[in-house]
Amino acid sequence: MINLPFNRSSLPPDFKLLSGPGSVDKEAAHWILLQGGTVLLRETAGNLALPCGPLPVQPSEARPLLTFANWQGMPVTAVQLEVLTAVPEGLVAEPFNAFQERIPDSLMTIAGLGKQLLHAERMTRLCPRCGANTGSLSDSWGKVCPGCRHESYPPIHPCAIVLIKHNGKLLLIRKPEWAQGRFSLVAGFLDVGESLEECAIREAREETGVTICNVRYITSQAWPFPSQLMVGFTAEYAGGDIVVDGNEIADARWFDMDNLPDLPSRRSIARFLIDSCLSKSF
């Protein structure tokens, strides 16, 4: 199995994800304190760790505490803090995104799970059918409406991402909002009535104007920003010239495999697919 960050295989061996929300102990827990785009961590001699022990901040009533795991004999509890809450003494606010290299993979994966489950709780708090407050389904992250009995589960959005090869070159794209000079793979959300392979083919056509074939599944990665499943493929160029819309996509080019531009984070499936291709794994 491929061990990508944010997948459960990157969790510490003694980490146990609960099957539904657990009880909160404000005196003794590991804390996932999310604030804006940061996570609050303890730093000792350059090593980052989750705060543990008593809850070091006082979130407002509107910010529920969510216990989602047990680890090292203690609950693991997440909360999204108000942006203006002062960072408690002894903690540092670390940027929480896939490009962050200081946070170890296992800690990043724990915090990602907490973030994704908090997002799921927010998105399923109200019944999508009748608008009533939902209650928890037992032993599940799902919710049930007490009025109409509709059940809701954590929303996870599949995205196809595809490495496109042709004669020793890779087809990479650049979105206008990305850091200057950074390129990555064609990717996009699954649409209604579409297989993931069809999604990869459509996204390649829409983002680059190019037609692809031999679309082959490689692996997938949970992506808690906020709740995607990235499904990775490789494909061959089949035809067409590069055309970009200049709006959603700023640039698309064929790059020689031995002369690639600035690439995405080593934690991303995009980078995994590129690195695997360079090492001739496929």
Chain residues binding Zn ion by CB under 5 A are 127, 129-130, 132, 145, 147-148, 150
Q: How many C-beta neighbours within 10 Å does residue 219 have?
A: 17
Q: Is the peptide bond before 226 cis (omega within 30 degrees of 0)?
A: yes
Helices (H), ranges, 217-262: none
Closer to Zn ion at the Cβ: 143 or 267?
A: 143
- Smallest CA-to-CA distance from 88 within 114, 118, 53 is with 53
Closer to Zn ion at the Cβ: 127 or 164?
A: 127
Closer to Zn ion at the Cβ: 104 or 142?
A: 142
**CA–CA distance, 17 with 69 (Å, rounded to integer):** 4
CB of 143 to Zn ion, least distance (A): 10
Q: With residue 16 as reference, give the H or E element that holds it.
A: strand 16-22
What token pair was written down for 175?
A: 């979105």
Closer to Zn ion at the Cβ: 38 or 152?
A: 152
CB of 122 to Zn ion, least distance (A): 17
CB of 83 to Zn ion, least distance (A): 32
CB of 189 to Zn ion, least distance (A): 26
Q: 31, 75 in Cβ contact below 8 A?
A: no
